[in-house]
Structure formats: C-alpha cells, structure tokens
Amino acid sequence: MNVPLPVPVADALRDSLAGLLDGLPPRQAGQAVERLIASYRGRTPTDAPILRDRADVVAYAAYRMPATFAAVRSALAEFAAAVPEWAPGRQVDVGGGTGAAVWAAGAVWPGARPVTVLDWAEPALALGREIAAAQPDLRDVQWQRSRIGAALTIESTDLITVSYVLNELTAPDRTAVVDAAARAAQAVVIVEPGTPDGYTRVIEARDRLLAAGFHIAAPCPHGAACPIVPGTDWCHFAARVSRSSLHRQVKGGSLAYEDEKFSYVAATRFPPVPAASRVVRKPQIRKGQVLLDLCEHEPALGRTTVTKRHGPLYKAARDADWGDAWPPA
C-alpha cells in the first residue's frame, strides 16, 4: 500500500514534529517512549489516560504519530478509491489524541472542513492544537476533551475515524464506541494494530457496522463473513514510515524506515464500489510470473498467477503491492 504521500501535508507534519523534542534530552525521550509502549501493551482503563503530561505527549507523538498517520492515510486512500465521487464535508476523530487521523484525512481529501477531535487526554489535545497550527487547513479544528467509552455521544457527521483506540478500551466500551459511530456517521473508518488481537477487534467492529446497515468499502471486496479461519491467520497490511533518530534510538535499529502493520475496516451508509479483489500478502515475483494472494468477491481466499502471456496485466502485477485492489482500475 505504498501510495505516494501528498508532499505538502507529509512535510508539514514532519516539520511540526521535528521541533517537538527540542529541550527534551534524548535519553529522557527514549525512556518516556519505552514506558509508554509498555503501558499501551497492558490493560488500560478508560478513566486513566496514559498520556499524562506534555513530556509524555511530546515523546509519544514524535515516536508514534508518523506511523499512525501513514497507516490511517493508507486506509483512507483505499476507502476513497471505493467512493470516488464522495468526500467528507465534516469529520469527527474519536480518541484522536494529537490528531494523526485528521492530518491523514487532509492528505486524502485536501481542503479545510469542520473537524472535531475527541480525546480524554488534555495534554494530547493541547499538543495536537499546537502542531496543527503549521497546516492552514487544520487551524480551525476543534479539540474537545471527552470520555471515550459507554457515555460517548457524537454529533452527526460525514466521516468518523477511530484509529488505535479500541485496543485501549474494555469490551463493553468498544461496543459502545462503534455503535455511537454507526449512529452518527455516513462513513466510519477504524484502524487497529496489525496483530491477531487488532484484527479480531476490527472484525468485531465490522460485524457491528454491517448489523447497523453499513456497506463495507475496504479492504474487503464483499460484505460477507471474513473467509479467514479464526486462529489460523489474520488480515493486516503495511505502510512504510521513515524512521527518526528517536525511532532508531528506541528500537536500536539502523534502517532509515520501518513498516507499520495495521488492520482496518471502512464502511459507509451509501453503496460503495469495493475492489474486485484485494492483495492480502506481499506479491511473490518469480521469473516470468507473479503470484498474488487475494481476498476475492465470492468471498474466498485464493492465489492467482500472472505471467508474461497476460501482457499489460503482467506489468501491473509486478507493480502491485500488498493491500492494493486487484485488478488495478
């Protein structure tokens, strides 16, 4: 899913994040990130925000916001391809923190629009407001403190994004948040970590959206049950992210990039035009042929082999990436 990023938005976000760590010693930033990662991997009650102060938020935003932006932007781009005549007039970002999903939506659908970011951590909202000042289209975003859980109410809107949030909630709160989003929006896009647990949460949300009358726009080419046998595999994708010095310090790696793994579902109240099939594994390029693992419309998982005899389709297969629609439009 290596869709080229619109340079102005990506650069503005990178430049805004670059100055965040000024005055915060690298060792302190690294320790803060390691502690916060450990907290996120545990069980988090909805009434105890993990991001407690500016130092926490600065460290975690510099470390995680580029990856969240890349994953959500990839999911929104595939969603936009399924609804080419539609663009959101209004967005609500649930549990949006510093606003990565708002930046991502601006990269896919350029231009200013009414946006509200809901989060329980005031320091995250404050920092989100601060860095959004670098992007003219985001200067009027409303940053609103709100408990994300059973008591959540959401105003009527076109698009609701819920990214890397459900993993922080109890099961009843996850259900309540998805149901609240379904009641309020014309389109809902949910992104979770690309792990077996993240995929399970996405499937649970997908089932609730279908039950509420939504149509699946992406990544699935159908609205039937997922053909993956539970416990044998999970559906996830990857978005490439440039590593900052803080990334390399915390992870001890030397590569200039990493791949952010994520699972997602995008659903709409109105009928989309989903992909005929979706590439669900990295394509295998061999001499004179390309092997594509696909989730198909039937629904079913299958493998197709594209050879030189297929002409232009062979070149398209060689250019195909994990997460792409197949065949290309």
Tell me the torsion sign for CA atoms 12, 15, 16, 17: positive
Closest CA to 290 of 260, 312, 258, 274: 312
Distances (CA, A) of 86 to 111, 159, 186: 14, 11, 11
pLDDT digits (tens, 9 = 90+) for 236-270: 999 998 776 666 665 556 667 788 999 999 999 99
pLDDT digits (tens, 9 = 90+) for 99-138: 999 999 999 999 999 999 999 989 889 999 999 988 899 9
The mean per-residue pLDDT over the stretch 89-103 comes to: 96
Task: Report domain extents, the chain.
Answer: 7-268, 277-326
Structure-model confidence comparison of residues 245 and 322, the more confident one: 322
CATH number of 7-268: 3.40.50.150
Tokens 């004179």: give the residue: 288
Closest CA to 43 of 173, 133, 187, 177: 173
204: Cα within 13 Å, side-chain hemisphere: 18
Cα–Cα distance, 277 to 292 (Å, whole number): 11
pLDDT digits (tens, 9 = 90+) for 165-201: 999 899 999 999 999 999 999 999 999 999 999 999 9
Closest CA to 218 of 92, 326, 319: 326
202: Cα within 13 Å, side-chain hemisphere: 30
pLDDT of residue 52: 61
pLDDT of residue 188: 98
pLDDT of residue 60: 79
Distances (CA, A) of 274 to 116, 178, 266, 278, 291: 28, 22, 10, 9, 22
Give a three-class secondary structure readout of 300-316.
Answer: EEEEEEEEHHHCHHHHH
Paired tokens of 292: 């594509």
pLDDT digits (tens, 9 = 90+) for 260-319: 999 999 999 999 999 999 999 999 999 999 999 999 999 899 999 999 999 999 999 999
**Element (DSSP H or E) covering residue 101:** helix 100-108
Read off the pTM: 0.90
Write the single-letter amino acid at 256.
Answer: A
CB atoms within 10 A of CB 270: 12
